[in-house]
Amino acid sequence: MFNSFRSRLITVLVCLMMLVQLATAFASLSAMKKESERQGKAALDVASNVFAETLSNRAAQLITAVKILTADFAFKRAVATQEKFTVESVLENHGNRINADLSFLLSPEGRLLASTLSIPEGFSRIDDILLKAKQKGTEGLTVIVEIDKTVYQLVLVPVRAPTTIAWVGMGFALDEALAQEVKNITGLDVSFAISAPLEKGDPETSDERLQAGKTVSTLNDEIISSVFSPFDQMDIHSKDAIFSEDEAYLSMFFALNEPQQDNNLTTQNRLWAILHLPFEPWLQNFRNTRAQLIIIFAITLILAITLGWYATKNMTRPIMKLVAYANRIGQGKSGKPPRINIDELGILSQTLTDMQKNIETREQELQYQANHDGLTGLANRVAVESYLQKQLPRENGCLVLVNIRQFKNINSMLGFDNGDQLLCEVALRLQTITPAPELLARLGGDEFLLIFSDDMPPDKIKKTLAPLDTKFLLSDSSLHLRTSIGILPFDISHHDVNDIMRRIDIANHSAKNHSDGITVYQTGEDENYQRELTIIRDLQGSLDNNHIYVVYQPKVNLLQQRCLSAEALIRWQHPELGFIPPDQFISLIENAGNIQLVTQWMIRAVLRQLAAWKKEGMEMQVAVNLSANDLCDPSLPEVLKNGLAEAGLAPSALALEVTEGAVMQDTDTVIRVLQALREMGIQLAIDDFGTGQSSLAYLKQLPVHEVKIDRAFVKDIENNTNDELIVSATVQLSKSLGLKVTAEGLENVAGLSKVTECRCDIVQGYYFSKPLKADEFRQWVALFHTTPGRWFPA
């Protein structure tokens, strides 16, 4: 939510506004508070001036009153008597007349003559006051003093008869009545309090603390404690304005007396009038303003968010449009660019439009490149496949795959440049043929594919493609092209693109082996091909799952009439394809390059079987067929050696059969390997002697022990005199070279007498036994050895 441009914009706006508002509110509130305080102080200043004036007026009135009193002749006369009781009476009497709270009489020298209240001993201030009073002469003096924790406004006036015969002091307590009077004048509450200097008072700081004791106030006791409590913790100075704890009152101190210092130490208690300004109204005012500000703040906040929401909507709408536009472009859809009035976003919109165009162009280029051959400009394999995908299923028409034979040779003879030029030329000519194909494509290399709308027989296609038969001129030499042409009518295969492509390829492949160079795909070709693929694919699985197994065909020694050796042959019972003839799958596997896998498996299986037979007491020499690839492996002797050792068998237990063809590939290596095997003590035989690429030279070169005469000369020996001669001659030749001779493929007893005549050493064939599984073989051997007469007629 807060990641969106809009909410961030609003957040910034609102934060900015809040900041400004808070600052304004803070400034105005604090200014207001300061102003309130200032006004409060000003009001207190005025009040304190009024108070001072009030006090001064009262002093003047009191002096006058006392003066009138002392001018009374009777008073003077009474004082003149100097009788203590008389004087005290007259003091009390006259004092009462003017409501004095305290009256006393001093001698002109300052001795206390009489007093209505007991004035504390050593009230040292009397001397100071009297001195001041004397300086003022007859005018009289007022001073505010503390006597016994009570604050008095003291008036000192001489009694003149007519010279000064005594001083009369009259004290008027600063009491609640006065406080009330001051309150009536100033409108403020008033307290009178006493402060004492702290012990060890430092004159510099002149710490003063309000003294617990009598405090006179117009405030009630509850309020007073709240108002006075801050004073306990602070120094007091005249004109100080101090807030009460709850700020309900602002109090100002007004010093009633001057601090007196002895030896730089403030010793005298200080007397204070404290004016209390009710600050509550100011506070209320302040709170009201604050509440109003909060309300204004809240309203403007809501307004700002609302307005911001709408304003940013207008701002972000073009952006959202652009986002939608960009999304459409991303999805590859085209669309009109949104109309945008904001410059920057307009540029962005234009950029997006340009980008879309560029993308389109590039897409088209890519599309073209993806579907076309870069060299000839014809459609390519991808285009063909997608074309077919759209066309299928389809009944009419045919595909034709044209392949230039020996194009590799042309390339290597004339160079790649000319090869490419040739391909372009071919492409050009194919574009001119009639009827023109629906689609003309180069699948790659020298393969051109044409799709015709009508099914055409091979001769018509041959005619159509006749332009390719005329000579090509390449770098001043004329070239006659030979082509192979595969045809696949759609009605044969019309479902799967992969099938079609494979089958046309098969058809073309067949054409290469065809004299005309043109073939129509025959139903089933693909299935053969598939079967071969399955065979190659399933080899490993079948080896693991015992679908491939070994059978043994006895080899009978004619002289001894015993079976001492056998040939191991491979059999494959495929679960789906059924029995697969060995010559079929062996050649496939040899082509696929997997023959070593089979040979090794075979050797392991035979060695395992030999070991098992040995345990059972049957000594047997088993021959395994090796292919050319096996013999090219120099590690073969070592592998066999290890295998024999593991199985606990002598090397003579194993025999190996090789064809002469196998020797042709790499004669030196093969001979070296065979030599090594022979030295190990393994029996070696030449298989299928007399057929294929037989060479008597090999007979001389190969280090073998045995020659196996091919069945072709043996199977019909009893009827064919030539065969008999060949066998006889071969036996003679072999024996003269010191080799044993085995005849393969003996079918009947008549043959047996012939090969015996020809002096073959060993015979193998269906006459004795077909190849048998291990258990059957063992049983057969037992039977043969017990009743050899069944095979050898007397």
Partner 1 sequence: MCLLFASVCLPCLTLAAQLSFQVQDQQGDALPDAVIELRSEKLLPHTTVHGEITQQNLTFVPWVSAVQKGTLVEFPNRDKTRHHVYSFSAPKVFELKLYANTPENPVLFDQPGIVVLGCNIHDHMQAYVYVGESPFLSVSDEAGNITFDNLPEGQYQVMLWHPWQNKESQPQTITVDSDVRTAHFVIDISKQSKPAPPRRGFGKNYR
Which residues are 529's β-sheet partners? none
Among 161, 265, 414, 536, binds partner 1 (CB under 8 A): 161
CB closer to partner 1, 43 vs 156: 156
When binding is defined by CB under 8 A, the residue of 8, 34, 38, 77 that contacts partner 1 is 77
Residue 163 or 635 having the CB closest to partner 1: 163
CB 764 within 8 A of CB 554: yes
Looking at the Cβ atoms of 79 and 156, the one nearer to partner 1 is: 79
Which residues within the stretch 164-203 sit at the binding site for partner 1 (CB under 8 A)?
A: 165
CA angle 276–278–280, rounded 5-degree value: 150
For partner 1, give the closer residue by CB, 77 or 287. 77
Quote the Cα angle for 11-13-18, to 5°: 90
Applying CB under 8 A, the site for partner 1 has a residue count of 11
Distance of CA 200 to the CA centre of its chain: 75
Q: Give dist(CA 544, CA 599) in Å, integer.
A: 14
Report, in Å, the least distance between residue 156 CB and partner 1: 17
Per CB under 8 A, the list member of 7, 21, 28, 64 interacting with partner 1 is 64
Nearest distance, CB of residue 108 and partner 1, angstroms: 12
DSSP codes of every residue in 534-550: HHHHHHHHHHHTTSEEE
- Scanning 74-82, 272-280, 283-291, 577-585 for contacts with partner 1 by CB under 8 A, the matching segment is 74-82
Of the candidate spans 44-52, 154-162, 461-469, 622-630, the one that interacts with partner 1 by CB under 8 A turns out to be: 154-162
Distance in Å, CB of 71 to partner 1, minimum: 6
Residue (66 or 488) nearer to partner 1, CB: 66
Rounded to a whole number of angstroms, the minimum distance from the CB of residue 160 to partner 1 is 7
Instruction: Show the 3-state SS of 265-317.
Output: EECCCEEEEEEEEECHHHHHHHHHHHHHHHHHHHHHHHHHHHHHHHHHHHHHH
Smaller CB separation from partner 1, 160 or 429: 160
Q: Are 561 and 538 in contact (CB under 8 A)?
A: no
Angstrom distance (rounded) from CA 442 to CA 631: 43
Contact predicate 250/41, CB 8 Å: yes
Among 1, 2, 3, 73, binds partner 1 (CB under 8 A): 73
CA distances from residue 69 to 100, 114, 145, 161, 173 in whole angstroms, order as listed: 11, 16, 21, 13, 18
Window of 157-165, 254-262, 449-457, 526-534 that interacts with partner 1 by CB under 8 A = 157-165
Q: Binder to partner 1 among 160, 571, 672, 735 (CB under 8 A)?
A: 160
> 158: burial class by Cβ within 10 Å (0-12, 13-18, 19+)?
buried
Residue 79 Cβ vs partner 1, minimum distance, rounded to whole Å = 8
Minimum distance from residue 50 beta carbon to partner 1 (Å): 24
- Cα–Cα distance, 353 to 485 (Å, whole number): 50
The residue among 61 and 453 lying less far from partner 1, judged by its C-beta, is 61
| Contacting residues for 679 by C-beta, under 8 A, at least 6 apart | none
Considering only residues 20, 22, 71, 366, which one is a binding residue for partner 1 as defined by CB under 8 A? 71
Q: Is 676 in the site for partner 1 (CB under 8 A)?
A: no
Site string for partner 1, 79-108 (x = CB under 8 A): -x----------------------------
Does an H or E element contain 498, and which? Answer: helix 497-512
Q: At what angle do helices 582-592 and 525-544 cross, to 10 degrees?
A: 90
Indicate the residue among 159 and 500 with the shorter CB distance to partner 1: 159
- Interface mask toward partner 1 for 205-244; x: CB under 8 A: ----------------------------------------
- Told to check if 162 binds partner 1 by CB under 8 A, we report yes
Q: 723-733 burial by CB neighbour count: b if 16+ within 10 A, else e? A: bbebbbebbee
Output the six-digit token pair for 467.
């332009």
Least distance from partner 1 to the Cβ atom of residue 67, Å:
8
Compare residues 164 and 748 and give the one whose CB is closer to partner 1. Answer: 164
Q: Which residues pair with 740 in a beta bridge?
A: 706
Q: Is 109 in the site for partner 1 (CB under 8 A)?
A: no
Segment 527-556, which members bind partner 1 (CB under 8 A)?
Answer: none
User: At its nearest, how many Å lie between partner 1 and the CB of residue 27?
Assistant: 55
Q: Least distance to partner 1 from the beta carbon of 77, Å?
A: 7
Of residues 82 and 206, the one with the C-beta less far from partner 1: 82
Q: Closest separation between CB of residue 35 and partner 1, Å?
A: 44
Given 33, 41, 76, 512, the residue binding partner 1 (CB under 8 A): 76
Per rule CB under 8 A, is residue 163 in the interface with partner 1?
Answer: yes
d(CA 323, CA 317): 10
**Which of these segments, 162-170, 373-381, 543-551, 728-736, binds partner 1 (CB under 8 A)?**
162-170
**Which one, 77 or 785, has the nearer CB to partner 1?**
77
Dump the DSSP string for 720-761: -HHHHHHHHHHHHHHHHTT-EEEEE---SHHHHHHHHHTT-S
Specify the residue, 137 or 213, whose C-beta has the smaller distance to partner 1: 137
Strands (E), 161-204: 164-173, 189-197
Tell me the sheet residues that pair with 152. 145, 173
- Give the position of tokens 């459609």: 379
**Distance from the Cα of residue 128 to its chain's centroid:** 94
CB of 80 or CB of 414, closer to partner 1:
80
Element (H, E) at 404: strand 398-404
Q: Which is nearer to partner 1, 64 or 600 (CB)?
A: 64
Binding segment toward partner 1, per CB under 8 A, in 21-29, 158-166, 192-200, 287-295 = 158-166
C-alpha 718/C-alpha 721 separation (Å) is 7
Cβ distance to partner 1 smaller for residue 74 or 212: 74
Whole-number minimum distance, CB 137 to partner 1, in Å?
9
CA geometry: angle 605, 610, 611, nearest 5 deg = 100
- Give me the residues that bind partner 1 (CB under 8 A), please: 64, 71, 73, 76-77, 80, 160-163, 165
